[in-house]
Amino acid sequence: MKAIIIDDQSHIRENLKLVLREFTPEVEVVAEADGVRSGLECLKENPADLVFLDIEMADGTGFDLLNLIKKRTFRVIFVTGHEGYAIRAFRVAAIDYLLKPVDPDDLVEAVAKAKNQKPIEDFQVEEAMLAQKEEKVRQLVLSDAENVYRVQVEEIIRCQSEDNYTRFFLSDGRKLLISKTLKEFAELLEKSGFFRCHQSHLINLAYFDHLDKRDGGTIFLKDGSTVPLATRKKDQLLQALREA
């Protein structure tokens, strides 16, 4: 895989190249840049499969750079020293979000995800989806090994954790397996009418039907499916239903 590193700190770029060379020999760094403007020129001149992109740079952010690209033909892995941009990164369909200094195991996992996912060719970032002040998420861009989906939040009935993946159950019967954790989606959707009722389950309260309080608690959804309710979550669920 041909890769480009865009970061305004030269020592970070050098360190990332060393780690890539040692742990992911299948990745060849073909170019590097130190900001938004230089990164844009670099991407125009060097076709790449993968871009390791910093977020906060001297002349703008990694999101600014993505907004300048009309057709994205590469996968994006954010590499940053700031934790607060994770939700925003998922909204622009990043493969992964790595914190500096990069952990080699996390890097290997991120590269493996990139190899199994097609690039998003015609997806343009929408400003409404990027607005940090926006509380409710209306749609998600979800990617599995072969496809990229744009899913409206109201289509999502529930989500279920499967190790480091999340299974989405949609109202039209589709089941999508996405290579991100349930925790990440729970944080993203918590203000959009979703409730994490159990360590492994996230539900859309719009599909809540009733709660059977026996045996610890079982939630019945309008599509006929059932999910467990963690005992400590009972009062939180009742409060969420009142506020929904």
Residue 142 has pLDDT above 90, yes or no: no
pLDDT of residue 127: 38
- Which of the two residues, 164 and 244, has the higher pLDDT score? 164
Q: What would the 3-class secondary structure string for the chain be?
A: CEEEEECCCHHHHHHHHHHHHHHCCCCEEEEEECCHHHHHHHHHHCCCCEEEECCEECCEEHHHHHHCCCCCCCEEEEEECCHHHHHHHHHCCCCEEEECCCCHHHHHHHHHHHHCCCCCCCCCCCHHHHCCCCCCCCEEEEECCCCEEEEEHHHEEEEEEECCEEEEEECCCCEEEECCCHHHHHHHHCCCCEEEEECCEEEEHHHEEEEECHHHCEEEECCCCEEECCHHHHHHHHHHHHHC
pLDDT at 221: 97
pTM, 2 dp: 0.58
Q: Is the pLDDT of residue 121 over 70?
A: no
Please give the share of the chain, as a percent, with pLDDT higher than 90: 56
Determine which of 57-66, 123-132, 206-215, 234-243 has the lowest per-residue pLDDT on average.
Answer: 123-132
| Mean pLDDT computed over every residue of the chain | 86
Confidence label for 136 from pLDDT (cuts 50, 70 and 90): low
